[in-house]
């Protein structure tokens, strides 16, 4: 009798380890408390499956997969891989003992029966929307569950797709000639994979990593992108107008006021905007009763809100039908479509998940709708996350739970899948072409309560929004990769949506205002999504939340399945040699081994190209490698638009290199060193390395330097060749470049356009001219005077002043002085000025003398306190700068900084 463990071990690479092998009986039916299901003990060899747990260590973590094999009918038989299930946080093993009444059926006549030990346990495997059942010995089943639980502990709880943590499994996938791969490229991809680069192995110069895995990952990425690039050859596009809304109704019944939210509004227009093809509405807190947590509510609330939406549609209501809905306690999602578009909707599926009390109750969680429109898969989710201040971590956890556990039931398996007993039973929210998430996030703004109230007081000033968003918990979570990191959101321009007095437009002074209600989206390259509107509806007084709406134009597709399959097959044929070790190494020809950018200037990007060509008769994969383990592929000042790829025989590709010295890199450069040089390592998988030398001559700049350095320059930074030679007695009181900017602004007042000063976005060409003349010491000259008006030039100088101060290596106010500012109640600012470095005192006095002068010369009929507040809001985060890792006792709130600056502005 064949030993399954020996066979599996023989076909696994040395870099992986076999932890457990089970030769199973076929089983069907899901595990139940009664242990029901069918079993075929002593089964025909070819109908049995071998289950193997195989692992690989990577970065100190052990990642595992469940490999499912079947025996062939050959003599002697061998194992063929059916599929692999990654052991992730969602992986689950359910066990149930068989009852004694379950007897094995007789074997088919004339077929060899392989005897096995008594099997007495039904095992159900659940992973990534797949389900697989089998029967084995109870001890083996228990061992499988124990091993999978052990491996799950190594997996991150963050929102990571298996392709990022289990990329090594790619080498075991079916070969490109296997027609099962066609379905892999016709199903929607996990959107998270489309937003991330392939998880290539950790290679570096002299150690290319796992070339076999990397070649396959690069190949699969190339196949996906190539098929997408040819989508117009097998599909046609259709524009779809979609309107989305989210509303926490605080347990209130609907009324006529929701009309503006349902219909949308635009300045100068009335009625339903552009007649959307689809409308989706997500609700939270429909039912606040305690009893609603203990039993399923009726559909009375759904009926009421559906009726109210149809009423709000007015005369257009007859054009729409509700095609899907789902409710969980107080959460409800409704989907409507124009009658003429309803025939194009199919495969409707709904789902819900509770993450509230005890981690499962439905007071918090999500409801969703998944469906196919023509050949585009849509998923719409409405959710409600944990409430109250200080619970950002719980809200992020709620998001991850929903992202992992919200699964949409799929339709019956295909005959081939049923024969393998490996049935895709559900789909995750990310397996979509378009994903829209309408959510009561409950994310707060992490600054003191009083300051949030002050900065959101109506009418809310536009310059406060970006400051508040910097402390918005969603923004913080996204930037730190804690939640919603890959979702897009249009800029917020409306007031906070929470918390208001019911039947009033006034904020509740007992609660911290926040943008708790948001609409986010993701999409694949097959479905272009354009958001045209993002707004709140403060005129609706029904709840303590204000509803939010968004309008989208979405590109959907009708696909010709035969043409689609042909494109996939033709594409696969082109790269069948990738993944196997070739008989002769693939070769690339690099046309430029040295790339010289010549002179480059601060904040002025320059590009050069490198052409490479495949000179062999087989397709080859390539990637760039860092010079050292754990290092970056290119230095901070250089980027490459292509860092990995695939070339067909005789194929060519052009890599664009961009050199850019920004403030972060310029701060690190020794002013006396102008030459920048690096070597790019271009590695051919299963081939040789190519070395491309890149150099540039960086021109000295006065930006991103210290005040002390600039005052010790004898002339301009370019005339001094970046060398500061003056001693302290010879040093200037203030950098000459800063004085030149201020002199221009004082001699070219803006008058009526003063409100635009420090708030405009100027021409990059104009900003470059100003920077260059500051660096060279030349007189300011602007070429064709007709290109820019005098006011546009002055506005550009104001923007240059902001950039100059923001780029300084050290802020004007040192971190150690923050404590003094925070504790100072006195109007005597002498102690503050005494604490500043000498050059900072001179800059501070000069700068605020100018700002007072400019305000007085503005001629704008705006209260002095508002003008001072605007200027203070602009300069506060630049002059009193925070670092992410600074001592908390030194950190000042936004309004503390502003209040301090206004003391100098309103003298």
Domain ranges of the chain: 4-33+41-101+117-174, 236-559, 582-698, 707-905
Mean pLDDT, the chain, integer: 87
Residues 6+ apart with CB under 8 A from 474: 441, 443, 483, 484, 489, 515, 518
Domains 236-559 and 582-698 share a fold: no
Query: Which two three-digit tokens encode residue 585?
Result: 């190494």
Average pLDDT over residues 712-722: 95
Average pLDDT score over residue span 19-38 = 61
pLDDT at 417 over 60: no
Residue 445 has pLDDT above 90, yes or no: yes
Q: Which residues lie across from 352 on neighbouring strands?
A: 367
347 to 38, 281, 449, 470: CA distances (angstroms): 29, 20, 47, 41
Class of domain 4-33+41-101+117-174: mainly beta
Token look-up 């918005």 returns: 472
**pLDDT (mean) for 820-829:** 73
pLDDT at residue number 115: 45
Residue 826 has what pLDDT? Answer: 57
Say yes or no to pLDDT of 474 above 50: yes
pLDDT of 582: 72
Per-residue model confidence (pLDDT) at position 117: 47
**Res 418 pLDDT > 60:** no
What integer is the mean pLDDT of 262-289? 78
Exposure string over 799-816, b if 16+ CB within 10 A, otherwise e: bbbebbbbbbeebbbebe
pLDDT at position 389 over 70: yes
Average pLDDT over residues 329-342: 96
Domain covering 236-559 in this structure, CATH number: 3.60.10.10
Tell me, what's the pLDDT at 410? 83
Mean per-residue pLDDT, 473-499: 95
- The stretch 36-64 carries a mean pLDDT of 73
Residues 6+ positions from 565 with CB-CB distance below 8 Å? 182, 186
Considering only residues 375 and 117, tell me which one the structure prediction assigns the higher pLDDT: 375
pLDDT of 420: 53
Please say whether the beta carbons of 512 and 444 come within 8 A. yes
d(C-alpha 507, C-alpha 498), whole Å: 8
Query: Six-digit token pair at 498?
Result: 């929470």
pLDDT of residue 655 exceeding 70: yes
- pLDDT (tens digit per residue) in 673-700: 899 999 999 999 999 999 999 999 999 9
Q: What is the distance between the alpha carbons of residues 125 and 759, in angstroms, rounded to a whole number?
A: 58
Cα–Cα dist 523/564, whole Å: 20
In this model, does residue 519 exceed pLDDT 50?
A: yes
SS3 of residue 15 by DSSP: coil
Confidence of residue 359 (pLDDT cuts 50, 70, 90): low
Give the pLDDT confidence score for residue 166 in this predicted structure. Answer: 83
pTM value is 0.88
Q: Give the lowest-confidence range in 412-426, 469-483, 514-528.
A: 412-426
Residue 29 pLDDT class (50, 70, 90 cuts): very low
Residue 163: predicted pLDDT: 62
pLDDT of res. 423: 58
Right CATH number for 582-698 from 3.40.50.1980, 1.10.3720.10, 3.40.50.720, 2.60.40.10?
2.60.40.10
pLDDT at position 669: 92
d(CA 603, CA 703): 10
Site of tokens 């007084």: 541
292 pLDDT tier (thresholds 50, 70, 90):
low
Give the list of residues 6+ apart from residue 562 with CB closer than 8 angstroms, or none.
Answer: none
- Angle at CA of residue 100, ends 99 and 106, nearest 5°: 110
Check whether 884 has a pLDDT greater than 50.
yes
pLDDT at 365 over 80: yes
* 421-441 pLDDT per residue, tens: 555 678 899 999 999 999 999
Calpha distance 691→624 (Å, rounded): 10
pLDDT of residue 154: 81
Judged against a pLDDT cut of 90, whether residue 327 lies above it is answered with: yes
Overall fold of domain 707-905: Phosphatidylinositol 3-kinase; Chain A (1.10.555)
* Residue 35 pLDDT level (bands cut at 50, 70, 90): very low
Q: Which long-range contacts (CB under 8 A, 24 or more apart) does 172-177 make?
A: 172/67, 172/81, 172/84, 173/84, 173/216, 174/81, 175/576, 176/572, 176/573, 176/575, 176/576, 176/579, 177/572, 177/576
Give the mean pLDDT of 888-900. Answer: 89
Measure the CA–CA gap between 733 and 707, rounded to whole angstroms.
10
Name the residue with higher pLDDT: 423 or 68: 68
pLDDT at 38 over 50: no
Residue 857 has a pLDDT of: 66
**What is the rounded average pLDDT of the residues 748-765?**
87
CA angle 842, 772, 752 (to 5 degrees): 65
pLDDT value, residue 42: 45
CA 814 from chain centre, in angstroms, equals 35
Alpha-carbon span 120 to 142, nearest angstrom: 12
Residue 643 — pLDDT band, cuts 50, 70, 90?
Answer: very high
Is 180's pLDDT higher than 80?
no
- Which H or E run includes 206? none
For residues 119 and 637, the model is more confident at: 637
Nearest to 674 by CA among 642, 705, 708, 697: 697
pLDDT mean over 537-558: 96
CB contact at 8 A, 86 and 128: yes
CB 588 within 8 A of CB 620: yes
Given a cut of 80, whether residue 251 has pLDDT beyond it is yes
Averaged over 717-743, what is the pLDDT?
94
Radius of gyration of the chain (CA): 32
More confident of the two residues 524 and 164? 524
Write out the E strands in 630-743.
638-640, 644-647, 652-659, 675-684, 689-698
Q: What is the model's pLDDT at position 61? A: 83
Q: Which residue has the higher pLDDT, 235 or 185?
A: 235
The CA distance from 760 to 860, in Å, is 17
Output the pLDDT for position 112.
43
Confidence category of residue 33, pLDDT binned at 50, 70, 90:
very low
pLDDT at position 422, please? 59
Cα(164)–Cα(158) distance, integer angstroms: 12
Residue 227 confidence (pLDDT): 93
pLDDT band at 791 (very low <50, low <70, confident <90, very high): very high
Both structure tokens of 516: 């708790």
């Amino acid at each position: 009798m064949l030993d399954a463990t020996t066979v599996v071990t023989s076909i696994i690479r040395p870099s992986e380890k076999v932890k457990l092998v089970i030769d199973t009986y076929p089983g069907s039916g899901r595990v139940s408390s009664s242990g029901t299901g069918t079993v075929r003990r002593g089964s025909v060899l070819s109908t049995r499956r071998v289950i193997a747990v195989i692992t690989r260590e990577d970065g100190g973590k052990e990642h595992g997969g469940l490999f499912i094999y079947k025996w062939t009918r050959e003599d002697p038989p061998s194992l063929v891989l059916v599929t692999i299930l990654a052991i992730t946080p969602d992986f689950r093993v359910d066990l149930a003992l068989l009852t004694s009444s379950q007897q094995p059926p007789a074997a088919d006549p004339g077929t060899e029966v392989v005897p096995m030990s008594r099997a007495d346990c039904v095992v159900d495997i659940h992973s990534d929307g797949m389900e697989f059942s089998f029967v084995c010995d109870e001890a083996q089943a228990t061992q499988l569950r124990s091993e999978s639980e052990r491996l799950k502990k190594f997996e991150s709880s963050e929102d990571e797709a298996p392709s990022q943590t289990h990329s090594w499994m790619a080498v075991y996938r079916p070969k490109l000639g296997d027609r099962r791969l066609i379905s892999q490229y016709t199903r929607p991809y996990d959107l998270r994979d489309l937003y991330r680069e392939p998880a290539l192995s950790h290679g570096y110069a002299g150690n290319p990593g796992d070339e076999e895995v990397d070649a396959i990952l690069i190949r699969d990425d190339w196949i996906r992108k190539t098929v997408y690039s040819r989508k117009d050859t097998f599909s046609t596009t259709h524009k779809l107008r979609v309107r989305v809304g989210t509303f926490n109704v605080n347990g209130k019944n609907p009324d006529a006021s929701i009309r503006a939210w349902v219909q949308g509004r635009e300045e100068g227009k009335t009625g339903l905007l552009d007649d959307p093809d689809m409308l989706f509405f997500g609700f939270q807190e429909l039912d606040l009763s305690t009893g609603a947590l203990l039993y399923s509510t009726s559909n009375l609330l759904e009926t009421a809100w559906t009726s109210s939406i149809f009423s709000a549609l007015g005369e257009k209501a007859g054009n729409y039908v509700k095609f899907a809905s789902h409710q969980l306690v107080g959460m409800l999602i409704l989907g409507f479509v124009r009658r003429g578009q309803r025939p194009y909707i199919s495969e409707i599926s709904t789902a819900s998940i509770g993450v509230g009390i005890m981690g499962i109750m439905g007071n918090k969680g999500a409801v969703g709708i998944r469906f196919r429109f023509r050949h585009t898969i849509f998923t719409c989710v409405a959710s409600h996350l944990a409430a109250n201040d200080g619970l950002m971590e719980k809200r992020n956890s709620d998001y991850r739970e929903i992202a992992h556990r919200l699964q949409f039931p799929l339709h019956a398996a295909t005959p081939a899948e049923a024969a393998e007993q490996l049935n895709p039973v559900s789909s995750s929210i990310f397996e979509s072409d378009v994903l829209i998430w309408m959510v009561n996030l409950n994310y707060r703004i992490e600054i003191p309560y009083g300051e949030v109230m002050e900065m959101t007081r109506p009418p809310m000033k536009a310059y406060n929004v970006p400051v508040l968003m910097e402390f918005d918990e969603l923004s913080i979570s996204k930037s730190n990769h804690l939640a919603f990191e890959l979702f897009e959101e249009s800029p917020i321009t409306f007031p906070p949506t929470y918390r208001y007095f019911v039947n009033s437009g006034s904020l509740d002074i007992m609660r911290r205002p926040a943008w708790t209600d948001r609409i986010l989206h993701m999409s694949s390259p097959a479905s272009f999504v354009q958001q045209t509107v993002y707004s709140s509806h403060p005129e609706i007084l029904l709840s303590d939340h204000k509803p939010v709406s968004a309008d989208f134009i979405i590109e959907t597709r009708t696909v010709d399945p035969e043409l689609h399959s042909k494109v996939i097959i033709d594409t696969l044929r082109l790269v069948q040699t990738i993944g196997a070790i070739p008989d002769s190494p693939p070769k690339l020809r690099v046309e430029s081994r040295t790339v010289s950018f010549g002179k480059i200037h601060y904040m002025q990007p320059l590009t050069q190209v490198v052409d490479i060509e495949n000179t062999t008769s087989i397709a080859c994969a390539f990637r760039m490698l860092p010079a050292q383990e754990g290092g970056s592929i290119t230095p901070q000042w250089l980027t490459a638009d292509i860092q990995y790829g695939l070339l067909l025989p005789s194929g060519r590709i052009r890599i664009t290199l961009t050199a850019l010295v920004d403030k972060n890199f310029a701060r690190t450069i020794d002013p006396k060193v102008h030459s920048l040089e690096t070597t790019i390592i271009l590695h051919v998988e299963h081939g040789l390395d190519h070395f491309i030398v890149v150099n540039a001559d960086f021109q000295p700049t006065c930006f991103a330097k210290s005040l002390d350095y600039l005052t010790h320059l004898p002339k301009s930074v370019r005339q001094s060749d970046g060398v500061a030679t003056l001693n302290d007695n010879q040093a200037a009181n203030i950098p000459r470049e800063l004085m030149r900017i201020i002199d221009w602004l004082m001699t070219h007042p803006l008058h009526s356009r003063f409100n635009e000063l420090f708030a405009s976005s100027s021409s990059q060409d104009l900003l470059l001219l100003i920077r260059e003349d500051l660096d060279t010491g030349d007189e300011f000259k602007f070429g064709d005077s007709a290109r820019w008006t005098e006011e546009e030039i002055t506005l550009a100088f104001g923007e240059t002043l902001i950039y100059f101060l923001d780029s300084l290596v050290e802020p004007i106010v040192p971190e150690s002085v923050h404590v003094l500012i925070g504790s100072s109640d006195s109007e005597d600012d002498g102690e503050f000025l005494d604490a500043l470095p000498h050059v900072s005192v001179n800059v501070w006095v000069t700068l605020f003398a100018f700002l007072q002068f400019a305000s007085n010369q503005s001629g704008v009929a705006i209260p002095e306190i508002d003008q001072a507040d605007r200027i203070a809001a602009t300069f506060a985060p630049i002059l009193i700068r925070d670092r992410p890792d600074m001592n908390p006792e030194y950190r000042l709130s936004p309004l503390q900084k502003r209040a301090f600056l206004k003391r100098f502005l309103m003298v």
